[in-house]
């Protein structure tokens, strides 16, 4: 199985493709140096295979590579950041309490 996370800026989303087929997406909007992440979804037919986790990891890697902070409105992305405290720095200090991340890096 070939899995790829691909940025599709003209559609405002990252897609995860499994053997060339889109099986999930994470919508985003960039304003200045901030990437807003409101929603992710994965085809239920591929659920439980780590597709969502791979997608979120790819999105957050891209944000870091581009020097962006993130606003994790999507609960799946927010939970992923909570489970990976080394990623909390992607959320600006002032925004962390809003997302329940104020203590995630302690």
Which pLDDT value is given to residue 47? 87
- Note down pLDDT in tens along the chain; length 106 residues: 789 999 999 999 999 999 999 999 999 999 999 999 999 999 999 989 999 999 999 999 999 999 999 999 999 999 999 999 999 999 999 999 999 997 544 4
**Spatial CA neighbour of 62 closest among 18, 102, 13:** 13
Rounded-to-integer distance, Cα 34 and Cα 44, Å: 30
What are the chain's domains? 3-99 (3.40.630.30)
pTM of the model: 0.92
Distance CA 69, CA 64 (A): 8
DSSP state of 91: S
């Amino acid at each position: 199985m070939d899995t790829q996370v691909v940025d599709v800026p003209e559609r405002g989303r990252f897609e995860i493709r499994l053997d060339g087929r889109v099986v999930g997406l994470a919508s985003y909007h960039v304003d200045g140096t901030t990437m807003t992440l409101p929603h992710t979804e994965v085809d239920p037919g591929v659920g439980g295979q780590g597709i969502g986790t791979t997608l979120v990891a790819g999105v957050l890697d891209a944000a870091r590579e581009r020097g962006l902070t993130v606003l994790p409105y999507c609960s799946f992305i927010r939970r992923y950041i909570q489970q990976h405290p080394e990623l909390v720095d992607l959320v600006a200090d002032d925004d962390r309490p809003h997302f329940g991340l104020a203590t995630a890096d302690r």
